[in-house]
Amino acid sequence: MDPFVFTAVLAAAACHAGWNALLKLNVAPVVATVLVAVAAGTLVLPLLPLTMAPAPAAWPYIVASALIHIAYFVTLAEAYRWGDLTQVYPIARGTAPLLTALLASAWLDEALGLLGWAGVIVLAAGILVLTFKGGGELSGLAGRAVGLALATSLTITAYTLIDGIGARLAGSALAYTVWLCLANGVVMASYGWLRLGRSLLGDFRRHWRIAMAGAALSTAAYAIAIWAMTVAPIALVAALRETSVLFAGLFGATLLREPMLPLRLLAAVLVLAGALLLRFR
């Protein structure tokens, strides 16, 4: 993978972990996800005059992605209600790159090569090691949180493939990102209003700083990822951006006071090894 693309995707991973950590800071997860999506749509409004409209072929992908993102935000928020950031996040993000790689190879004929597949598998294995708690015992896993995290991984796989294809058809990664954020904002605002009602306005007044910070990180992370998928194989970008689990572990331990277990050091080594394999693929 090109060094510039590699570094950019790592930066996106850090941003992605940052906004996920914000979801656990004094705001109900469902409220936080709605506020971040709506705030992201607001943030990109000034970019509209500066971007071209996506090509017509990309619009079905934008609509499909926005709808799938509802399922993503809902399952992610519910998973955080029942599990720790350092448990839910790795399950959701660790299984997604394997599914994405398999589908991208079969559907898009993306050839990853031996090093590419090795990198995806090693990185995913490292991420999944992070799910173990209490010295690596399976009993440390919360069943409901695990189920919701796995459901989240399916939505990640779906919107990753849709956005990778859609961005390539759009003619401009920036245009696709801007209109996707706008579509997500409208869809999530509607969902939030139906679920939370007028209390959503009060929530935004109280938590607008967290919402805007999360939106800035989320938008930056996804803009980079969408651009990267137009210049590199979707499966490799999808796998590399999951190094965000390392940043999530750091944020969880330092900001949220979640336990940092020795087993997670092994996971970090595996994730880094997988990332290096992708770099030199």
Tens of pLDDT, residue by residue over 44-86, are: 999 988 888 899 999 999 999 999 988 887 887 788 777 776 6
Helix or strand run (H / E) with residue 165: helix 143-170
pTM comes to 0.80
Torsion over CA of 250, 252, 253 and 256, rounded to 10 degrees? 140
What's the CA angle centered on 61, arms 60 and 66, to 5 degrees? 100
pLDDT at 179: 94
47 contacts: CB under 8 Å, gap ≥ 6 = 174, 178
Nearest one of 131, 11, 124, 20 to 76, comparing CA atoms: 20
Taking the C-alpha atoms of residue 222 and residue 262, their distance in angstroms, rounded to an integer, is 31
The ranges of the chain with pLDDT < 70 are 19-29, 85-86, 130-142, 248-265, 268, 280-281
pLDDT at 209: 80
